[in-house]
């Protein structure tokens, strides 16, 4: 009897790790397929791997959100909508018993934000921008004050900001010597460069903007460079407000040929208000104070110069 029991325990010990490994979602593989625009393969991998006949946990919902995003990236809007709706329902079920921001950068917040973002894109792709804007506004109100608020606002502004007056900018605090006031917009074409001190793409964008500043000197073009504090100087190492502010002001602004000569308002509120979940984010405003470009992400010099020249 003892020999049989020992054999069963040995078999069980061998099986349990296999089961645990099988329960790990293939999120990276699905993400790679999404960016390769292979939505069917992303869907099949998810369906072959996911647990059956049980509610999915946050990690599996994050993987499912990538199946929806795979559809959106490839223009398969049926898949995008189907898997994003399923993801959102699963997230909302989990949120009945836990807070979204128990882990602000964890799989539940990622999956929830991604599902809402993709559904907004789905409505817009179907030709119903009004429904997309309404849906995103409703969800933005629902998740106000959470870690996904900025991401949701970015997606709303991508659909609804261009052609409207530039929203107010918080200029109560700034770095360097130059201050920005709303009245400064009048009669100028202004490019707002939202940047972060840790952002490599922002470092690539700065020389582009410096060239544009020189290129359009004397033509009524100006740059404003809002930033914010993040609670650290180096990722993973927390820093006090004073330490981080000094690091940014002395290390990134004071001697930089671009940033030392433009207003640098510093406010986390600006990043929420302008949906800056991607850095850099560029907002181009015409002489009448109307937004003509809202672009999360890096832009090449010639593409940006063309947009600016048309407004001068």
Q: Give 282: exposed, middle or buried? Use CB within 10 Å, 0-12, 13-18, 19+.
A: buried
Residue by residue, DSSP assigns 215-238 as HTTTTTEEEE--B---SEEETTEE
Angle between helices 301-309 and 200-215 (to 10 degrees): 40
Predicted pLDDT at 8: 35
Predicted pLDDT at 145: 95
What are the chain's domains? 14-160 (1.25.40.10), 174-309 (3.40.30.10)
Q: How many CB atoms lie within 10 A of CB 138?
A: 11
- Alpha-carbon distances of 130 from 52, 110, 210, 279, 302, rounded to whole Å: 37, 25, 38, 27, 32
Predicted pLDDT at 19: 35
Two tokens at 67? Answer: 């199946």
Q: Are 259 and 253 in contact (CB under 8 A)?
A: yes
Predicted pLDDT at 18: 32
Predicted pLDDT at 23: 77
Tens of pLDDT, residue by residue, the chain (312 residues): 444 434 333 433 333 333 333 479 999 999 999 999 999 999 999 999 999 888 899 999 999 999 999 999 999 999 999 999 999 999 999 999 999 999 888 999 999 999 999 999 999 999 999 999 999 999 999 999 999 999 999 999 999 999 999 999 998 899 987 787 777 778 999 999 999 999 999 999 999 999 999 999 999 999 999 999 999 988 778 889 999 999 999 999 998 999 999 999 999 999 999 999 999 999 999 999 999 999 999 999 999 999 999 999
Query: Of 156, 176, 133, 142, whose CA–CA distance to 264 is shortest?
Result: 176
């Amino acid at each position: 009897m003892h020999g049989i029991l020992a054999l069963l325990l040995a078999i069980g010990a061998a099986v349990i790790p296999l089961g645990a490994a099988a329960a790990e979602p293939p999120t990276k593989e699905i993400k790679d397929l999404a960016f390769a625009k292979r939505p069917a393969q992303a869907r099949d991998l998810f369906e072959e791997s996911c647990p059956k006949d049980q509610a999915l946990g946050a990690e599996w919902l994050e993987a499912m959100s990538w199946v929806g995003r795979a559809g959106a990236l490839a223009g398969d809007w049926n898949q995008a909508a189907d898997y994003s709706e399923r993801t959102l329902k699963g997230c909302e079920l989990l949120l009945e018993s836990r807070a979204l921001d128990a882990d602000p950068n964890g799989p539940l917040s990622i999956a929830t934000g991604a599902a809402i973002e993709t559904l907004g894109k789905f409505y817009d792709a179907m030709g119903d921008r009004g429904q997309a804007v309404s849906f995103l506004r409703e969800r933005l109100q629902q998740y106000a004050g959470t870690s996904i608020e900025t991401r949701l606002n970015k997606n709303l502004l991508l659909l609804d900001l261009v052609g409207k007056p530039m929203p107010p900018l918080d200029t109560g605090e700034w770095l360097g010597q130059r201050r920005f006031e709303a009245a400064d917009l009048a009669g100028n074409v202004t490019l707002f460069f939202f940047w972060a001190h840790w952002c490599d793409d922002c470092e690539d964008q700065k020389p582009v903007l410096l060239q544009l500043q020189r290129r359009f000197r004397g033509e009524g073009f100006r740059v404003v460079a809002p930033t914010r504090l993040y609670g650290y100087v180096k990722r993973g190492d927390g820093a006090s407000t004073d330490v981080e502010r000094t690091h940014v002001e002395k290390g990134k602004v004071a001697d930089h040929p671009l940033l030392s000569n433009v207003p640098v308002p510093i406010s986390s509120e600006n990043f929420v208000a302008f949906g800056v979940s991607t850095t850099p984010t560029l907002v181009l405003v015409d002489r009448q104070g109307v937004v003509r470009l809202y672009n999360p992400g890096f832009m090449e010099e010639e593409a940006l110069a063309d947009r600016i020249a048309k407004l001068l």
